[in-house]
Amino acid sequence: MRSKTVAELFLDALLGYAPVTSSRCVLAPAFLNQCLCSPSCCLLSRRCFGCLCPEPATICLHNCNLLPPGVCNLLNSSTIYANNEVCLGDIEVYGFDYDYTLALYSSTLHSMIFNTARDILVEQYKYPDAIRKYEYLPNFAVRGLHYDINKGVLMKIDAYHYIELGTAYRGLKPVPDEEVMKLYQGTNHVPLHQVSGFYGKGPAVKQFMDIFSLPEITLLAVANDFFLTNDIDYDPIHLYKDVTDAIRDVHIKGFMYKWIMQDLEKYILRGDETYAVLHRLASQGKKLFLITNSPFSFVDKGMKYMVGKDWRDFFDVVIVQADKPHFFNDCIKPFRRLDKNGDLRWDKITSLEKGQVYKQGNLFDFIHLTGWRGSKVLYFGDHLYSDLADLMLRHGWRTGAIVPELETETKIVNTEQYSQSLTWLQALTGLLERMQNFKDPESQLVQQDWMKERHELRAVTKNLFNPQFGSIFRTCHNPTYFSRRLCRFSDLYMASISCLLNYDLSYTFFPRRTPLQHEAPLWMDQLCTGCMKTPFLEEMAHIR
């Protein structure tokens, strides 16, 4: 029997790949109207693997737009995204964390933290003075990375605990893939359950989940880089401890609080939006509370700047220095009341009263004293572990994650370059899946070419976000470990609490029904719910 030509193999592959074989489109049904521009439809103007015309594939290079009109403007960074169905009409009580939830900070704060901790390393921990030559690198790290304390390696891990090859860094230099495999006994899988706890705090591998941890990651990287490039023997375990202690000193000694309080306008962003959110919720009869780890004097100054001197009128309960996540998962510390001078009182707390300020405490007493339990409470915070995990898993409150990175990431996802690259990457992957059974030399060469292009496209889509680590939400194709935790611990997620201004307080968030692997992909399922049909209100427009 005559063996098939490569063009025929393409045809076979594409017919098999096409979800609707009666059409000539090789993409999902949603693209039918846009993609069938001519009887000889193409996948992309620059390539023609999808062409079903009788001419040889290589000569058919049509202008066929792969992307439907408007696809590059589908996402809006002011949208609230739903992992789980939430009806705001059922929410009676709204709770908030303070730092990076009610108060968003300018990124200049990161370079201040970095510089101060770097100088502490030199002055107090006696590290070489030459480390001072390193300046903060604002675009080096992203949130959610893991750090192997013993090996001194920073890396991005996916939802299945695999290191994304190409994203492992020792110091400021990438670790070659072969070396990564050697470090982890011939695999890029990291058994996190053996080496790191539920909150990602080690002992052998730590996950950086805090937005404040970006300067810490960068300081670790540059300090490692200093010793490596100067060929100085050092122990990565000592280095990790010293950097962590230096960063902790910046927080504990109150440097950061002092900088912010001295120049609120410089460091606190979009305070008017915080005011608008609180005013709207309170005026519609919702109960509000604040649970923060920060001290009262700091919170008071920031809230007066953002909301006004009467900010506490909005809140039914105010709790400071709460010691989250312990606040949520043990019942050891009782509440204490602060008087008007900020001094601790010794009376036993039997109720939580509006107008008072409380310190420490625990969630069990909080629920007992307020009666605010279950799904009528929605709590917003930026830290997936300290703010949200226990509330979601143990207490059944609804949770909203503040993820400021969404603002830049949705802009990138909306670019034509990203959409084109990703769509072609997916089409190429589908072709490879179909063609892999053809073992003749000619087919193998074509597949090698496609595999190489796929590898290059993966790098292109990654680098659009961050050249070292890519998006905080995706590895090549899987969700990141961060993404998985975000989906598990939050009902809703958004760039800032001001996104609430876009929605009526009876609005129901319906998550998109993304198909499971064994389910047929139905485009309309995805188009009809989730972020694609967001009814934006006018109120937001008055603020920005």
The binding site for Mg ion (CB under 5 A) comprises 97, 99-100, 382
Q: Nearest-CB residue to Mg ion?
A: 99
Residue 390 is labelled as binding a ligand = no
Alpha-carbon 88 to chain mean position: 23
Distances (CA, A) of 526 to 70, 513, 515, 521, 523: 16, 6, 9, 9, 5
Query: Which is closer to Mg ion, CB of 12 or CB of 210?
Result: 210
Kindly report the number of other CB atoms within 10 A of residue 369's CB atom: 17
CB of 298 to Mg ion, least distance (A): 13
Type of residue found at 480: T
Shortest approach of Mg ion to residue 494 CB, angstroms?
A: 14
Question: For Mg ion, which is the closer residue by CB, 380 or 509?
Answer: 380
Instruction: Supply the minimum distance, in Å, between the C-beta of residue 381 and Mg ion.
Output: 6
Taking each helix axis from N to C terminus, what angle separates 236-252 and 214-229, rounded to the nearest 10 degrees?
A: 140
CA distance 20 to 221: 50
Could you tell me the two tokens for 160? 């299945």
CB of 503 to Mg ion, least distance (A): 22
* Minimum distance of Mg ion from residue 211's CB (angstroms): 7
For residue 110, what are the contacts with CB-CB under 8 A and spacing of at least 6? 136, 138, 214, 215, 218
DSSP states along 57-100 = GGG-------SPTTGGG---TTPPEESS-EEGGG--EEEE-TBT
Cβ distance to Mg ion smaller for residue 121 or 278: 278
β-pair partners for 158: 480
Judge contact between 522 and 515, C-beta under 8 A: yes
Closest to Mg ion by CB, 188 vs 294, is 294
Burial class (CB in 10 A: 0-12, 13-18, 19+), 199: middle
Q: Is 245 annotated as belonging to a binding site?
A: no
Burial pattern 85-113, b for ≥16 Cβ within 10 A else e, equals ebebeebebbbbbbbbbbbbbeeebbbbb
Structure tokens at 496: 């800032």
* Beta carbon of residue 101, minimum distance to Mg ion (angstroms, whole number): 5
Question: Letter for the amino acid at 365?
Answer: D
Report which of 330, 451, 318 is spatially closest to residue 395, judged by C-alpha positions.
330
Q: DSSP letters along 428-468, please? A: HHHHHHHHTT--SHHHHHHHHHHHHHHHHHHHHHHHTT-TT
Please state the three-class secondary structure of 246-285 as a single string: HHHHHHHCCHHHHHHHHCHHHHEECHHHHHHHHHHHHHCC
Q: Which of 97, 158, 300, 316 is catalytic?
A: 97
Q: Which is nearer to Mg ion, 99 or 273 (CB)?
A: 99
Q: Is 164 exposed, middle or buried (0-12, 13-18, 19+ CB in 10 A)?
A: buried
User: Residue 386 or 443: which CB sits closer to Mg ion?
Assistant: 386
| Tokens at 430, concatenated | 């589908």
Minimum Å gap between C-beta 383 and Mg ion is: 5
504: annotated active-site residue: no
Cα gap 196→191, rounded to integer Å: 9
Strands 287-291 and 398-402: unpaired
Upper half-sphere CA count for residue 405 (Cβ side, 13 Å):
23
Give the contacts of 9 (CB within 8 A, at least 6 positions apart).
435, 438, 443, 446
* 365/382 with CB nearer Mg ion: 382
Is residue 300 part of the annotated active site? The answer reads: no
Query: Cβ–Cβ contacts within 10 Å for residue 234, how many?
Result: 15
Q: How far is the CB of 345 from Mg ion (least distance, A)?
A: 27
**Catalytic annotation, pick one of 12, 90, 99, 231:** 99
99 known ligand binder = yes
Question: Judged by CB, which is closer to Mg ion: 316, or 382?
Answer: 382
Rank residues 100 and 335 by Cβ distance to Mg ion and give the closer one.
Answer: 100
C-beta of 254: minimal distance to Mg ion in Å? 17
Q: Where are the beta strands (DSSP E) in 298-390?
A: 317-320, 335-338, 357-360, 377-381
Q: Annotated binding site for GMP: which residue ranges?
A: 99
- Positions marked active-site: 97, 99
Q: Annotated binding site: which residue ranges?
A: 97, 99, 382
Q: Annotated binding site for Mg(2+): which residue ranges?
A: 97, 382
